[in-house]
Structure 1
Amino acid sequence: MGSSMQAFLCYIDAPQKHSNYFFNGSWNAGLAGSACSTSTLSGDLRKRFMSGAQNIDFFSEKSGIYHLAIVRDPISRFVSAFVDVCIINTFEKEYPEKFKTLCFSCRSNMTCFLLQLHDYLYRISEHLPKERWFRDWHFYPQAWYCDFDRHIKRYHLIHYKRNDEFYKELLEFLRNIRVKSNLVNDIETKLRKKTAAHATHSKSSIYEKELLESPFLLEYVYKIYYLDFVWFDYRL
């Protein structure tokens, strides 16, 4: 969903500039190589966001800023990330050197990876590094983002699902904050038809079954993502 949200934001922000990519581009991991990727990671959209962050109290009721967070079931999110990064090897061609250690050299061994991930996150939990890379973005607890520890009540939370209920709630939010109706209609069309180039759901069921049938592995998932379960109202 991350790549899709990047594409939506770019299209809402500058429809003419990004329309060709929005309608015809391949939404690969991070929208790599696209003008949208550049804009959201280091370009115009990112710079305007950072400038606003320095000059506006983001969480003041008077700021006029809408806070939306799409959260995902921690088990589903972990499995999807594990398949994307360690099984499909999404980033291997682009970053061959970093990829060697991206999955702690565990490759497709979920038990090896999950134990290593637990120890890695425990070590950095008190002092999160400023520089983050693919492993961090995919596997940090969601609770570590967005100042949720201080401002979770200011967010409109939408629980990610692959169904009409999720699409309806997201589109309703966009309409409520007065995004132009033609843009919302375009986004609705893409939501229902577009499949991200690195979508993982076709392979995730195998690894989700492995995880759910192992009390040992589940214990580590609960340890790592405990706050995600509690704060975002997912059943432990």
Structure 2
Amino acid sequence: MAIICYLYDEKAFEKANKTLAGEADWPRRGCKFNNRAVVDTELLHNPEWLHFVVIREPIERFLSGWMDKCYNLPAKNKGIQKIPTWCYGCKNNLSCFVQRNYESNLQFPQRYKDKYKIINLEDHFWPQNWFCNFTKYFDQYTILKYSHDVDQGHEMFERLQQLLSQQNVEPSFIDKIIRQATERPKHATLGQKPTEHYRNLLLSDKNMMRTLVKTYYHDFVMFSFPFPEL
């Protein structure tokens, strides 16, 4: 979303001393809601518009989100520690969260009908195929796959560069976008010792992995990610 914000108003973004890597501070993000929109079917079929989405491997995305929201953030914010429902009340118990996240996703269709309020930042852990009205308009999107893997990440940014050029974005602006987008964001969890500890814990626990595969099954299928060995 930060890239779209930058494209939306380059001068305002830079005037506010924003960078793509530093735009993780959600309450003070550059564009607020100005560059957000519901799926517009008319624009989706307009050949002058390019619609792309960035998708992440489901297990990698889940672990990154859990480390950021359920491990690092509570450690920095004592107020969050006092919220009993934060991360389903599981605190640092990864297996607890994996199971309750699965159950929450199963219950969501009914809760949505009942206009149930989203809690616990659970939208950060929804399957990615729930977004962007993929069930109807999947073929209208160009899919970019983000990964912490160096080669795969490089491939994604090369493809992004091609797409921006295709849409006649100035080459100098594209260079700035790619340079900033490849910087390490403030809330990155990759490389931290706790991340590696919980990654190993997760990958070695077949019950947790099976539950995650059930939770994100359609992400694996829709976006052609290989299933982990169980």
Which structure 1 segments of 5+ residues have no match? none
Q: Is the 8 A contact 1:92 1:99 kept in 2?
A: no
Give, in whole Å, the separation in 2 of the partners of 1:123 and 1:229: 21
> What residue number does 1:228 align with?
219
Q: Structure 2 matches for 1:155-234, cutoff 5 A? A: 155-162=141-148, 163=150, 164-192=154-182, 194-203=183-192, 204-234=195-225
Give, in whole Å, the separation in 1 of the partners of 2:119 and 2:143: 25
Closer, same or farther: CA 83–25 of 1 in aligned 2, 3 Å: closer
Percent identity over the alignment? 22
Closer, same or farther: CA 95–166 of 1 in aligned 2, 3 Å: farther
The one-letter code matched in structure 2 to 1:58 is: L
For the pair 1:10 / 2:14, whether they are aligned, the reply is no
Select the residue among 2, 20, 27 that pairs with 2:23. 27
Shift, 1:135, TM fit: 2.0
Give, in whole Å, the separation in 2 of the partners of 1:91 and 1:228: 30
Select the residue among 89, 92, 101 that pairs with 1:105. 89
Shift, 1:137, TM fit: 2.7
Q: Is the 8 A contact 2:21 2:181 kept in 1?
A: no
How large is the Cα RMSD of the aligned pairs? 2.6
Q: Is the 8 A contact 2:85 2:120 kept in 1?
A: no
Q: Is the 8 A contact 2:59 2:212 kept in 1?
A: yes
Q: Structure 2 matches for 1:86-125, cutoff 5 A? A: 86-89=70-73, 93=77, 96=80, 99-125=83-109
Give, in whole Å, the separation in 1 of the partners of 2:48 and 2:121: 33
Closer, same or farther: CA 25–104 of 1 in aligned 2, 3 Å: closer
Select the residue among 138, 146, 169 that pairs with 1:152. 138
Give, in whole Å, the separation in 1 of the partners of 2:59 and 2:65: 10
Deviates further, 21-30 or 66-75: 21-30
More helix by share: 1
Q: Is the 8 A contact 2:74 2:81 kept in 1?
A: no
Shift, 1:25, TM fit: 8.1
Count how many residue pairs are aligned between Structure 1 and Structure 2: 218
3-state SS of 2:54 partner: strand
Closer, same or farther: CA 225–148 of 1 in aligned 2, 3 Å: same
Q: Is the 8 A contact 2:88 2:120 kept in 1?
A: no
Shift, 1:64, TM fit: 2.8
Residues 34-83 of structure 1, C-alpha deviations (whole Å, 9 max, x = no match): 4x1xx243xx333xx45x94xx62322x3632110111100000000010
Give, in whole Å, the separation in 2 of the partners of 1:171 and 1:95: 41
3-state SS of 1:146 partner: coil
> What residue number does 1:139 align with?
125
Which structure 2 segments of 5+ residues have no match? none
TM-score if structure 1 supplies the norm length? 0.81
Give, in whole Å, the separation in 2 of the partners of 1:81 and 1:25: 16
